[in-house]
Chain A
């Protein structure tokens, strides 16, 4: 079920509704950051290619932000999540990503502690979402980036 969700998410990011937010162009599976292995990392920019007018509009209006979406489908407790987020924030800074999404899908509900922790996180450059694939529920962080991701990661199998 998680694999199916990842596949749908990858499609939605690259050619689906998420293209209204950013042009997610390149997808890596099994992406490593030091000791942590993310199931997927999709990277892109905010300048869409398009044809004449959209290209011109994008060139003139859109900021040249580099963006990424990381997916980590392992069970996480609040402490592990804190460390993961810290490591990720450091990494996105290193690779020059301006903002990123972190999607944590799981078959089943997350603990209340983890949910509360995610809701209280307010990093400007990182949006976090806990996705209960079986229960079709999403909890996101309270930042603008976090709130915006809800509609684009809602691709349940």
Chain B
């Protein structure tokens, strides 16, 4: 049975609510200017806007942004909103731990020289170092294969 990791990503949720609030405010300003000749601002309207933003923001987060990760020792599924990316650990040749800035880490799985997939360890509130070890264990004895050297020639410049 696959282990399911689905923490509430408060930052992403707040961002979705804020985006919806901004869009609704702009939309209301436009409509009100076009039909009433002025931008109408009132407390009930603001409250309704806020409530609507909370509801729509939650839907935006739940169906388009939320990250859910399911895995076992065979493979994994990464749900980003409604998109699903799946794979078997054995399909990947190399694994690394990448610091993407701001103390956030991803586990990078390399399929070959160019192609890689990032598992957002910090967004999933996993201990990135422990999770790195876990993935190494799933991938087998040798987490970096000789093809690694070739790939490192193409290491992106900072």
Asked whether A11 and B155 contact (CB < 8 A) given A28-B144, A32-B146, A95-B149, the answer is no
A64: CB under 8 A from chain B?
yes
Q: Is the CB of A31 within 8 A of B157?
A: no
B119 to chain A, nearest CB (A): 14
Closest to B145 in A: A32
Residues facing B in A1-34 (CB within 8 A) are 7, 10-11, 14-15, 23-33
A94: CB under 8 A from chain B?
yes
B101 / chain A contacts, CB cutoff of 8 Å: 49
B75: CB under 8 A from chain A?
no
Asked whether A66 and B155 contact (CB < 8 A) given A29-B143, A30-B142, A32-B148, the answer is yes
A66 to B133, CA, bound (A): 26
Q: Which of A7, A10, A29, A95 contacts B152 (CB 8 A)?
A: A95
A14 to chain B, nearest CB (A): 5
- Identify the interface centre among A23, A29, A94: most chain B CB within 10 Å of its CB: A29
Q: Is the CB of B97 within 8 A of A47?
A: no
Q: Which of A10, A30, A44 contacts B158 (CB 8 A)?
A: A44
- Identify the interface centre among B94, B97, B143, B158: most chain A CB within 10 Å of its CB: B158
Q: Which of B99, B133, B143 contacts A15 (CB 8 A)?
A: B99
Q: Which bracket fits the contact residues of B?
A: 20 to 34
A153 to B103, CA, bound (A): 19
A127: CB under 8 A from chain B?
no
Q: Is the CB of B158 within 8 A of A26?
A: no
A55 to chain B, nearest CB (A): 11
A88: CB under 8 A from chain B?
no
Q: Is the CB of B98 within 8 A of A30?
A: no
B141 / chain A contacts, CB cutoff of 8 Å: 30
* 20 pairs of residues in contact across A and B, judged by CB atoms under 8 Å: A15-B103, A23-B158, A24-B99, A25-B100, A25-B158, A26-B96, A28-B144, A28-B148, A29-B132, A29-B133, A30-B141, A30-B142, A32-B146, A32-B149, A33-B149, A43-B152, A46-B158, A64-B158, A66-B158, A95-B149
A interface, CB within 8 angstroms of B = 7, 10-11, 14-15, 23-33, 41, 43-49, 64, 66, 91, 94-96
